[in-house]
Structure 1
Amino acid sequence: MSTDRQLLAVDFEVFGHVQGVCFRMFTEKEAARLGLVGWVKNTRGGTVLGQMQGPPDAVERMKAWLSKVGSPGSRITKTSFSNERTLAALELSGFQTRY
C-alpha cells in the first residue's frame, strides 16, 4: 500500500451474543473484502476483541459492520472503538483469528 495515503488503526470490542455464531470468521471475510488487515479473537468475558488497519473509508465501513451487521446468528448490543491512530504504514499483514 502506498505511503502517500493516510492509514488508520482502530481497536474494537463487540458485545452481545457474538461467540459461537461464526462472528470471527465473518469478521475476517468482511475485513478482507474491504482490504483491511488486523486480527480478531474471542475473550473469556464473552466478547470479541480485535484491531483493524487500513484506509479511513474502509475502516469506517468496517466500524458500521461491527456495530450493526456482524455474523448472521449474532446479536450485537454494543461495539466500542478505542486507540484510533494514524499510521505511516500498515503494521500487520492479512486479517487473522487469534487464539
Structure 2
Amino acid sequence: MNSVVKAALCFSLLVIMSNVGSTAARFKSVDYEISGRVQGVCFRMYTEDQARKLGVVGWVRNTRRGTVDGQVQGKEELVESMKHWLSKVGSPSSRIHQAHFSNEKEINKLDFSNFTTRY
C-alpha cells in the first residue's frame, strides 16, 4: 500500500471516528425528592439496589424534612424507569405520597461512576 492510499485511509478513519463521537448516546440527569413514609423503611438501600440493577448512577440521602432526595443520571429510558420506581414502587414498607422531579436535563457525560448513599 503506497503512502497516498495510507493517508487517505487514515483520514477516512478519522472522519468515521469523529462522527461516532457526535452520535454517541446522550444521557439524562434529574434531581428528585420523595415524600411520605420514606425514612426508617430502608428506602435508601432499596433505591441504591434498584439504581444498580438498572445501571443508572447518582446518589440518595435522607433530608431533615423527613424526605429522601438525590440525583439520578443515565440513559434516558433507564432514568425514566428509575423515576417510575421512585414515584410508584419504593421499598416494600414505604408509602410514597409525592415524587417531585426537577432540573431534568440532557447531559453529555455522567458525573458519577456509581450510585451511592450520602449521609
What TM-score results when the alignment is normalised by the length of structure 2?
0.80
Q: Percent identity?
A: 57
Pair 1:64-2:80 in alignment: no
Letter in 2 for 1:94: N
Residues 21-32 of structure 1 correspond to what in structure 2 (within 5 A)? 21-32=41-52
Partner of 1:33 in structure 2? 53
**Within 2, Cα distance between the matches of 1:45 and 1:7?**
30
Gaps of 5+ in 1: none
1:16 is paired with a residue whose SS is strand
Alignment: residue pair count: 98
Letter in 1 for 2:33: E
Q: Which has the larger radius of gyration?
A: 2
Q: What do you get for the CA RMSD once the two structures are aligned? A: 1.2
Partner of 2:31 in structure 1? 11
Per-residue CA shift, 1:13-49, capped at 9, x if unaligned?
0000000000000000000001000000000000000
From 57, 60, 70, the equivalent of 1:50 is 70
Please state which structure has a larger fraction of its residues in strand: 1
Q: Which has the higher contact order (CA 8 A, sep 6+)?
A: 1
Gaps of 5+ in 2: 1-19
From 102, 106, 111, the equivalent of 1:82 is 102
**Within 2, Cα distance between the matches of 1:89 and 1:98?**
21
**Within 1, Cα distance between the matches of 2:35 and 2:79?**
19
1:32 is paired with a residue whose SS is helix
What TM-score results when the alignment is normalised by the length of structure 1?
0.96
Please state which structure has a larger fraction of its residues in helix: 2
